[in-house]
Amino acid sequence: MWRRRVERILEWISGALLVVLAVEVLAGVIFRAAGRSLSWYDEVASVLLAWITYYGSALAALKKSHIAFPGLVNAMPTPARFVALAVREVVVLGLFLVLAWQGTAILHALAGETLVTVDIPVTLTQSVIPIGAALFILAEMLNLPDRLEWARGRTAAAAPEQGVEKELSH
């Protein structure tokens, strides 16, 4: 239930950001062609692209669509597969905990700053770092029960590559 709700929210946010970026790029092209380039175009497009990356990465993690080595892990005996999963989870969660922590530190360091071309606080634009990291951690935690069952050899449904295959079959 929670997993599906989070997935829908991330799909909506990622989709909305893609639409906003597409509209902004189209507006930038039209204004440039008319000889009236938008001064804020590049800076805002860069921020939108970063936001799409962070929210899209969390969505990909939730759908088990990130790069993995399932053939290698599937070939391992169950105890080794469980150890490989444990190492993977510690590394991934550790990395994103550090990213969230440092992202928060960046927000404190940039307090009071605004973008160069528009009066938008940099803390708002960079808030995607700790938020995206927290969403990635949430996605990993929501998938953990399925991954543990898979690592123990109890189910094939949670195999990492099946998230990608399921998406491609739609």
Q: How far is CA 56 from CA 14, 42, 85, 160, in A?
A: 6, 21, 23, 17
3-state per-residue secondary structure call for 35-54: CCCCCCHHHHHHHHHHHHHH
Compute the distance between CA of residue 96 and CA of residue 136 in angstroms, rounded to an integer: 7
The pLDDT assigned to 80 comes to 87
The secondary structure of residue 68, as a DSSP letter, is -
Percent of the chain with pLDDT over 70: 90
Q: What is the predicted pLDDT for the residue at 154?
A: 67
Q: What is the pLDDT of residue 24?
A: 96
* pLDDT score at 165: 55
Query: For residue 170, what pLDDT is reported?
Result: 55
3-state SS assignment for residue 110: coil
pLDDT in tens, 113-163: 999 999 999 999 999 999 999 999 999 999 999 888 888 876 665 555 555
Determine contact, residues 166/73, Cβ cutoff 8 Å.
Answer: no
Give the rounded distance of the alpha carbon of 25 from its chain centre.
22
Half-sphere exposure of 71 (CA within 13 A, CB side): 0
**H-helix or E-strand spanning residue 139:** helix 128-151
